[in-house]
Amino acid sequence: MKIMNPDPAPVFFEKCAQHGLKITPQRKVIYQEVMKAKDHPTADAVYKRTRKILSNISFDTVYRTLLSFTEIGIINLVEGYGEQKRFEPDPAPHHHFRCIKCHTIFDFENDSYDHIPVPDEVRKYGNVTNKRVVLEGICSKCSKSK
């Protein structure tokens, strides 16, 4: 069972301070919107959600802020798989199932995937700091809508 930090704000403030990133109203709202997300949002989705609160915020500000957040480790980047980049609010170790039809990404946990041994041939490239398994297929919703 995944235990989420009930108040992720201390992590936000701490990481921003560690990396000299000023706390601005825009950054706070962007962070809050990403943390509320359950859908691995794109920058465009975060932008649209953020504009409901800060109507004058630009897409560029949202996008650059999301990239800054990934650089300092308060959110993760989920590869776009040939699509737009997606952002992950959950820092806890977990894996993804991606529907190749609707492109929805589902989180799942699996202890055996967490402990997959890193092959020696991969170690020659560097130190592995994170393991994330991505399974692809057709989700149950898309399977039913055939």
pLDDT digits (tens, 9 = 90+) for 19-71: 999 999 999 999 999 999 988 999 999 999 999 999 999 999 999 999 999 99
Q: Where in the chain is the domain with CATH 3.30.1490.190?
A: 95-144
Upper half-sphere CA count for residue 42 (Cβ side, 13 Å) = 12
* Rounded Cα distance, 128 and 122, in Å: 8
Residues of each domain in the chain carrying CATH 1.10.10.10: 9-88
Fold of the 9-88 domain: Arc Repressor Mutant, subunit A (1.10.10)
Q: At 96, which amino acid appears?
A: H
Domain 95-144 is found in CATH 2.40.30.170: no
Nearest residue to 130 via CA among 106, 119, 114, 141: 114
Please give the model's pTM, rounded to 2 decimal places: 0.80
